[in-house]
Amino acid sequence: MKIKRALISVQDKDGLIELAKGLNEFGIEIISTGGTLKAIRDAGTPATAVSDVTGFPEILDGRVKTLHPKIHGGILARRDMKEHLAVLQQHGIGAIDLVVINLYPFERVTSRPDVSEADAIENIDIGGPSMIRSAAKNHHDVTVITSPSDYQALLAELRAYGGSTTIEFRRKMAVAAFARTAAYDSAIHAWFSKSSAEFPERLNLSYNISSPLRYGENPHQKAALYERPNYPYTSLPKGKILSGKELSFNNLWDLEAGLQMIFDFSRSLSSVEGAEPFAAVIKHTNPCGAAIGGTLAEAYSKALAADPVSAFGSVIALNHPIDMDTAKLLHETPFVECILAPSFAPDSLELLARKKNRRLLAVGDLVIPPESEYEFRPITGGILAQTPDRRIVRRDELKVVTKVAPTDSQIDELLFAFKIVKHIKSNAIVICKDRTTVGVGPGQTSRVESSVIAVRRAGERAKGAVAGSDAFFPMPDGLEVLAEAGVAAVIQPGGSKGDPEVIAAADKYGVAMVFTEIRHFKH
C-alpha cells in the first residue's frame, strides 16, 4: 500500500524530526497539529495544519482538533470500496494512509504521588486513541505507528518497498496499536478506581514485555518478564543488571523474595537512610540466612554463617549499597547466583563482575509500594487480589502471656524473628540469636515438623535463642520441641483454642512468650 499522505500528532517528540524528513524524502504529504506541527516546520520540513484540512480551528484549548469527518473519513475509508471513494470525492476528503500518534502521558503524570485529579483528567487523550483505533481498524489500507521505537522500522519498510508498506507490517503495527489503547484505558480506569476503598468491579491489568526468558521454572516451560509501565516504586524490571548473564524465571522469583525482605528492613519509605545494615540469603524464596549487623559486611557474614550449606547457589539481597568490605566476602562465597542491592561501589562492582556467571542487580533507592498497590496471584480461570502484608508489629503491641516476661534484649530479638518469619513459607518457624537466623523451618504441613527442622538446623545455637511462628501453635507439641532445644522466648500470633495448653507448656519450661494477634501466613 503506497503512502501518499500522513497525519502526525505526538506528545513524545523523540525521533520526530528524523521521521518527518524521511517521509518527506518519499514525497509523502504531512498534516499535523500544535506542537508537532511547529517542531516539523522549525526543522525545515513542510507540513500542513490539521485546521487547514478541516477548515475549522483547534478549539477548547486544543481539546478538539482532529475529531472531524475530514480526518476520520480519510482514515476509515476503504480503498477497495467504490462507494467509500465516491464519498471522499463528494465531500473533498483526502485519504490518510499513515497515522503516527503517541498519546498524552497519562501514565507518567499519574505515577506522581502528588498528582491532582485536574491534572490527571487533562492528560486523558481523546482524539489520539480515536485516530489510533480508526487506523488500526482499517489496517488493510492504513499504517498506524504508536511508538517512536517503531519509526526506524517504518522507514526501513518504506525503503524496502518503494514508499509502500506490506500488509504484514500494517497488521503488526495494528496489533501494537490496539495493545496501546487497551493499556491506556486500563491505566485510566485503574487510577480512577483508586478513589474507592472497595476492589474495582472490573480489573484491567496492562504490562509491557520487558524481556523473554530462556525458560520457566523448568526447561520445558516457556516464560517472559513483563513490566508495569511507569511504575513509580522499586521493582525488579526497573533494576539494572550490571554484570552476568540474563536472569532466569527462578532467579527473578527468588530476587523478588529478597526485595520484599529488604523492604521490611528499610525504615524510610523513600530511601535506606537510617536503616540498619541487613542481609538475606535466599533459597527457593525462603531465607536460609538473614541478619542485621553493625556494617553491611557484618550483616552478610552473619547471614551466610547461619546456614552455609543451604547458601550454595543462592540469591543475596542487601539493603545498603555494596562497599568493598562486603564485596570481598561476597566474592569469596562459593556459587552465588545473583546479588541484589540498591547500588554497587565502583571498586566493588569491578571485583564482583570478575565471575561472569554471577548476576549483579542494582535496584536504586528503595521506594516501597504502599498498601494500596494490590498484589495478584493467578489461578485457573481467574486471579486473586489482595493488599500486601506490610504489617510490622511494634514493641507496644506485644502481649506477654507467660509467667516469665522477656527481657528488653529478648524483645528486640523477638521483633526481628517476627519480621523474618513473615517471609518464610507457611507453616513457618524461625530461631534467631543476635538478630540472626540460626534455624529456619519452612513450608511444612505441620507446625511441629517446622519446629523440628528449625531446631535441627540451629543445633546448639538454639540454646538461649528466641523463636517466631507465623501463626498460632494449635497444641503444645511445636513449642515443646523448641523449649527442649533451649529456646528461651517465643513470639506467635495467639488465638488458638489450644492457647491455654500452649501457655501452660511455656510456663512449665520457663519460656517467655508473647502474642502479637497478627498472623503472617505466606502460601
* Sequential DSSP letters for 76-102: H--TT-HHHHHHHHHHTPPP--EEEEE
Q: How far apart are the first and last CA of the chain?
A: 55
Residue 262's domain comprises 230-362
Q: What is the pLDDT of residue 269?
A: 37
Distance from C-alpha of 286 to C-alpha of 317, rounded to nearest angstrom: 12
Cα 2 from chain centroid (whole Å): 42
The C-alpha angle with vertex 196 and arms to 191 and 200, in degrees rounded to 5, equals: 75
pLDDT, position 212: 93
Nearest of 68, 72, 44, 73 to residue 56 by alpha carbon: 68
Provide the 8-state DSSP code for 6: E
Asked if residue 349 and residue 427 are part of one domain, the reply reads: no
Instruction: Check whether residue 31 and residue 164 sit in a common domain.
Output: yes
Q: Is 371 within a domain?
A: no
Q: Does 224 map to a domain? A: no
CA distance 345 to 146: 39
Q: List, in order, residues 6 or more apart from 240 with CB less than 8 Å away.
A: 361, 362
**Is 487 a domain residue?**
yes
Return the amino acid letter for 426.
Answer: S
Helix (H, G, I), strand (E, B) or coil at 232: coil
Domain boundary, last residue among 342, 362, 382:
362
- For 1, 53, 507, 515, the CA distances from 471, given in Å and listed in that order, are 66, 69, 20, 10
Residues 324 and 237 in one domain: yes
Q: How many CB atoms lie within 10 A of CB 39?
A: 18
CA–chain centroid gap for 257, Å, is: 12
Q: Give backbone dihedrals phi and psi of 100, rounded to 5 degrees, phi first.
A: -115, 110
CATH number at residue 53: 3.40.50.1380
**Is 64 inside any structural domain?**
yes
| Alpha-carbon dihedral 260, 264, 268, 272, rounded to 10 degrees | -70
In a domain, 391, yes or no: no
487-505 in b/e burial notation, b at 16+ Cβ within 10 A? bbbbbbbbeeeebebbbeb
- 49 and 70 in contact (C-beta within 8 Å)? no
Domain identity same for 167 and 104: yes
Cell of 277: 545494615
The residues assigned a catalytic role are 137, 284
Q: Which of these three, 167, 193, 219, is where a domain ends?
A: 193
Q: Are residues 12 and 160 in the same domain?
A: yes
Q: Which amino acid is at 440?
A: V
**Residue 377 located in a structural domain:** no
Question: How many CB atoms neighbour CB 220 within 10 A?
Answer: 7
pTM of the model: 0.79
Bridge partners (DSSP) listed for residue 208: 227
- Strand 314-318's sheet: what is its strand order? 240-243, 359-362, 336-341, 314-318, 278-283, 286-292
CA 43 to chain centre: 39
Domain-embedded: residue 217: no
Q: Is 302 exposed, middle or buried (0-12, 13-18, 19+ CB in 10 A)?
A: buried
Q: At 31, phi and psi to the nearest 5?
A: -115, 145
- Grid cell, residue 419, equals 519480621
How many structural domains is the chain composed of? Answer: 3
Cell, residue 144: 498506524
Rounded CA separation 511/523 (Å) = 29
Could you tell me the CATH number of the domain that includes residue 431?
3.40.140.20
353 and 408 belong to one structural domain: no
pLDDT in tens, the chain (523 residues): 889 999 999 989 999 999 999 999 999 999 998 889 999 999 999 999 888 888 777 777 667 767 788 888 889 888 888 888 888 888 888 889 999 999 888 888 888 878 888 888 888 888 889 999 999 999 999 999 999 999 999 999 999 999 999 999 999 999 999 999 998 888 888 888 775 657 877 788 888 899 999 999 999 999 999 998 888 899 999 999 999 989 999 999 999 999 999 999 986 434 445 689 999 999 999 999 999 999 999 999 999 999 999 999 999 999 999 999 999 999 999 999 999 999 999 999 999 999 988 999 999 999 998 887 889 999 999 999 998 999 999 999 999 999 999 999 999 999 999 999 999 999 999 999 999 999 999 999 999 999 999 999 999 999 999 999 999 999 999 999 999 999 999 999 999 999 999 999 999 999 999 999 999 999 9
Whether residue 348 is found in the same domain as residue 453: no
Q: What secondary structure letter does DSSP report for 244?
A: S
The answer to whether position 385 is within a domain reads no
User: What distance in Å separates the CA atoms of residue 298 and residue 436, rounded to the nearest whole number?
Assistant: 11
Spell out the alpha helix ranges (H) of 92-219.
Answer: 106-110, 117-122, 127-137, 151-160, 167-193
Q: Which residues contact 281 (CB under 8 A, 6 or more apart)?
A: 287, 288, 289, 290, 303, 304, 306, 307, 310, 311, 314, 315, 316
Task: Note whether 49 and 178 are same-domain residues.
Answer: yes
Q: Do 327 and 417 have their domain in common? A: no
Provide the strand spans (E) within 350-488.
359-362, 375-379, 382-386, 399-400, 429-432, 437-441, 466-469
Q: Position of cell 516501597? A: 368
117 and 165 belong to one structural domain: yes
Which distant-in-sequence residues (6+ apart) come within 8 Å of 67 by Cβ?
A: 126, 127, 130
Domain boundary among 147, 164, 193: 193
Same domain, 10 and 156: yes
Q: What is residue 148's DSSP assignment?
A: G
Same domain, 401 and 348: no
CB neighbour list of residue 233: distance below 8 Å, 6 or more residues apart: 367, 368, 369, 373
pLDDT at 199: 80
